[in-house]
Amino acid sequence: MESEESKPPHKGLKKGLYVIPTAFTAANLAMGFIAVLYSIRGFHQTYSDVSAASWYFDRAAIAIGLAILFDTLDGRVARMTRTATEIGVQFDSLADVLTFGIAPAALMYSWAIGTSFLETSSEYAMGVFLCFMFIMCGTFRLARFNLQATRPRVLIEGTPKLDKKHFVGLPIPPAAGLLVAIVHFTPLPLISHGEDWARYYSYLMMLLISILSVLMVSTIKYSSMKSVGTGRRNLYIVLLIAALGMLMFLYSRYVFLIIVGAYVAHGIIWYIFSKLRPHQKPAIEAG
């Protein structure tokens, strides 16, 4: 039997490192759970106390925003400490289904759709359907990512190869982030603007939900940002992150919306430029 003295040094410390990324994932899951609860509370307060409803919706949006931070950190910490595991990948994706799929859909329903349309109307049914499709497309996006991460080869003709510098399709965290950034920017329930404006704004949100759902299951490439901070310009990256952190603290309603909006838009702009850019034809050798 192996004695305590014969155990390799730092073995206990190495095991403890595996807990760190799991703790960030658990925090991500907790934020999603809180966001769902606050969305429900806000929905019930909409007609009785608009200011209370606005507070709950804003806190739900902030919770999902914090979850994006935790989701970003758990992967980076796992890679830095070399503690990435397959069960960690699966746990992270299951947490993302709740936090970035179900939670923002519940927030969209409570903040916009559920109070803007009558339950018997076709618009209400379409809004509920689009929220469901957002969850479906996000779940499919996570499943495809996991499959490509564990089996990095072409499974079917036309399936893109795994590229660590880019994501295939819009990741679900920024898709959810854009929705909740809008709520954080204007947390008052849409019905408080009047029935006509509520319906109009809800139509726009339903259109945005549709676009984000399509982007998640598309093959448009998005930067993974995994190489950020790994080069020689680490100091500049640290300064930039510090500046963004301070701006987020002071002007979160604006900065959060600008950051996630720019990320969602950059993949579309990149795709359009790649299609418009002339492709060089291979040279034909003279006979």
The DSSP annotation for 145-197 comes to: HHHHHHS-S-SSTTPPPP-TTEEES--HHHHHHHHHHHHHHS-S-GGGG-HHH
Q: What's the rounded mean pLDDT across residues 33-57?
A: 95
Instruction: Report yes or no: 187 and 143 within 8 Å, Cβ to Cβ.
Output: no
Q: What's the rounded mean pLDDT across residues 45-65?
A: 94
DSSP code of residue 219: -
How long is the chain?
Answer: 287
Q: Band the pLDDT of 254: cuts 50, 70, 90.
A: very high
pLDDT score for 261: 95
pLDDT score for 83: 60
DSSP code of residue 279: P
Q: What's the rounded mean pLDDT across residues 115-143?
A: 95
Average pLDDT, the chain: 83
d(CA 191, CA 196): 9
Question: 17 pLDDT exceeds 70?
Answer: no
DSSP code of residue 231: S
CA 245 to chain centre: 18
Closest CA to 162 of 142, 147, 182: 147
Instruction: Report yes or no: 115 and 43 within 8 Å, Cβ to Cβ.
Output: yes
Q: What's the rounded mean pLDDT across residues 2-12?
A: 49
Q: What's the rounded mean pLDDT across residues 11-18?
A: 55
More confident call, 274 vs 195: 195
The two three-digit tokens of residue 287, written as one number = 């006979």
CA 197 to chain centre: 28
SS3 140: helix
Closest CA to 133 of 87, 163, 101: 101
Global pTM?
0.83
Structure confidence by residue, pLDDT tens digits, 168-180:
889 999 999 999 9
Q: Band the pLDDT of 247: cuts 50, 70, 90.
A: confident
pLDDT score for 85: 67
Instruction: Report yes or no: 177 and 185 within 8 Å, Cβ to Cβ.
Output: no
In the chain, what percentage of residues exceed pLDDT 90? 54
Q: Band the pLDDT of 144: cuts 50, 70, 90.
A: confident
pLDDT score for 2: 46
Q: Which residue has the tokens 């179900």?
A: 102
Other Cβ atoms less than 10 A from the Cβ of 50: the count is 15
pLDDT score for 168: 87
Instruction: Report yes or no: 100 and 32 within 8 Å, Cβ to Cβ.
Output: yes
Structure confidence by residue, pLDDT tens digits, 67-92:
999 888 876 766 666 666 677 778 88
pLDDT score for 127: 96
Question: Phi-psi category of 128—alpha, beta or left, where left has phi over 0 and alpha has psi -120 to 50?
Answer: alpha
Instruction: Report yes or no: 215 and 157 within 8 Å, Cβ to Cβ.
Output: no
Q: Band the pLDDT of 229: cuts 50, 70, 90.
A: low
Annotate 64-123 with DSSP letters as a single string. Answer: HHHHHHHHHHHHHHHHHTT---HHHHHHHHHHHHIIIIIHHHHHHIIIIIHHHS-TTSHH
Structure confidence by residue, pLDDT tens digits, 177-195:
999 999 999 999 999 999 9
Between 8-12, 93-97, 104-108, the lowest mean confidence (pLDDT) is in 8-12
SS3 238: helix
Instruction: Report yes or no: 99 and 176 within 8 Å, Cβ to Cβ.
Output: yes
